[in-house]
Amino acid sequence: MGQLSSAPLSAREFARWFLEDYDNPAYPRASLDLLLSDASGNQFENQTIGRALFKEIETAVLDWYQRGEGSPDNLLILFYCGHGLGKGKQTILLAEDFGSLPDTLSLKRAIDFDQFHLGMDQCAARQQCFFVDACRVGTPFALNTLTYFGDPLIPPGAKVAPTPRSAPVFYSAVPGSTAYGRPGKTSFFTEALLNAFRGAGADDATGKWIVSTAALHHGIHVHLQRSVARTAAKGQLSLADGISAPFDLHRLSGDPVVPVEVTCSPDSHNSRGALRVSGNGSLLTPAAPAQGPWDLDLSYGRYRFELGLPAPAGPLNPVDREVRPPYRRVEFLVP
């Protein structure tokens, strides 16, 4: 396995979002720990960041656990981006020094995420949220292990906590599949997650634009499928577990930004179309796509979509549409 340039960039961007944009009156920001395995250096916001070695991860997680013990009203968030392995539904996350021991002992530098997630039920904090941006593909190494899939960090207890826990997990990939990064850029999943936080994962059921754990997955899915649609990552599909007891995760400071897909039917006409989008005090004339639909990002509001095609089709009937999360599709029927 090679080093991933996308993983440290993704971790930095998620941490930056948390420091600069995260807003939740019920769970105000209290602390941030960041570990990186970055060939370009371990500086972040003028601070030196520790390496993502197994012992460093273990110490950070135990400290994080202890902070969560302070109150059942605490919220804990964990983000991991890096190499992962899978065996069935089992997920194994790798530390930087995975492989530094003989093969028979290598998993001592890995994390059994499933057991770790179960172990976190012992923490007093009843709201927990996990983001796992890693492959979940079975390899001969992972498939040959019998019952040990790494260190759980927090071993599960024999008893279930008396107060139910809400602890959703957002995976970048379904079991047995690959999660993709991009050299010098964030991963597809991290990009989709951050875009979902900016709008596609929001809802205004209470009159304010709130990203809840229930709506977030839909927003991630929409952005992820848009990003990978025309790349080698086409088969990547995100997954969310444990969202049956949702809670509010983030409050938007303004209107949400919504992904909008505009297309002709059939879409073979798209590359020859002239699109005009007006509304919310703005006018857009995006260039015709070489293939696929127009992928736009529009602020919440009402818009008029107008499309002109060469003869004999000519101008098509305009479409007026409210643009709101999680996304909108505008389709022009070509006679």
- Same domain for 129 and 233? yes
Interhelix angle 188-195/6-20, rounded to 10 degrees, is 10
Asked whether residue 27 is assigned to any structural domain, the reply reads yes
Question: What is the predicted pLDDT for the residue at 69?
Answer: 96
Give dist(CA 35, CA 60) in Å, integer: 9
Mean pLDDT, to the nearest integer, of 271-279?
96
**Domain termination residue (choose one: 199, 228, 251):** 251
> Sign of the CA dihedral 291, 297, 300, 306?
negative
CATH number of the domain where residue 329 is located: 2.60.40.1120
Asked whether residue 300 is assigned to any structural domain, the reply reads yes
Mean pLDDT, to the nearest integer, of 33-49?
91
Q: Answer yes or no: is pLDDT of 287 > 80.
A: yes
- Same domain for 201 and 302? no
CATH number of the domain where residue 209 is located: 3.40.50.1460
Asked whether residue 176 is assigned to any structural domain, the reply reads yes
Question: What is the predicted pLDDT for the residue at 138?
Answer: 84
Tens-place pLDDT, residues 174-231: 999 999 999 889 999 999 999 999 999 999 999 999 999 999 999 999 999 999 988 8
Give dist(CA 67, CA 192) in Å, integer: 29
Strands 210-212 and 110-112: unpaired
Q: Answer yes or no: is pLDDT of 98 > 70.
A: yes
- Same domain for 244 and 269? no
- Same domain for 245 and 291? no
90 vs 142, more confident: 90
- Same domain for 266 and 220? no
pLDDT band at 1 (very low <50, low <70, confident <90, very high): low
152 vs 229, more confident: 152
Residue burial 212-243, b: 16+ Cβ < 10 Å; e: rest: bbbbbbbbbbbbbbbbbeeeebeebebbbebb
Q: Which domain holds residue 213?
A: 6-251
Mean pLDDT, to the nearest integer, of 315-330?
95
- Same domain for 221 and 278? no
- Same domain for 314 and 213? no
Domain count of the fold of the chain:
2
**Domain termination residue (choose one: 217, 251, 285):** 251
Asked whether residue 35 is assigned to any structural domain, the reply reads yes
- Same domain for 206 and 245? yes
Rounded to two decimals, what is the model's pTM? 0.93
Question: What is the predicted pLDDT for the residue at 193?
Answer: 98
Residue whose entry in the numeric block shows the structure tokens 């826990």:
165
- Same domain for 128 and 161? yes
Tens-place pLDDT, residues 127-151: 999 999 999 988 776 667 768 889 9
- 208: exposed, middle or buried (C-beta count within 10 Å: 0-12, 13-18, 19+)? exposed
Give dist(CA 256, CA 237) in Å, integer: 24
pLDDT band at 24 (very low <50, low <70, confident <90, very high): very high
Question: What is the predicted pLDDT for the residue at 146?
Answer: 66
What percentage of residues in the chain have a pLDDT greater than 70?
A: 98
Identify which of 289, 282, 147 has the alpha carbon closest to the alpha carbon of residue 226.
Answer: 289
- Same domain for 104 and 221? yes
- Same domain for 133 and 179? yes
Question: What is the predicted pLDDT for the residue at 322?
Answer: 97
Q: Considering the chain, what is the average pLDDT of its residues?
A: 93
Asked whether residue 1 is assigned to any structural domain, the reply reads no
- Same domain for 52 and 146? yes
257 vs 158, more confident: 257
* C-alpha torsion angle, residues 135, 138, 139, 144 (rounded to 10): 140
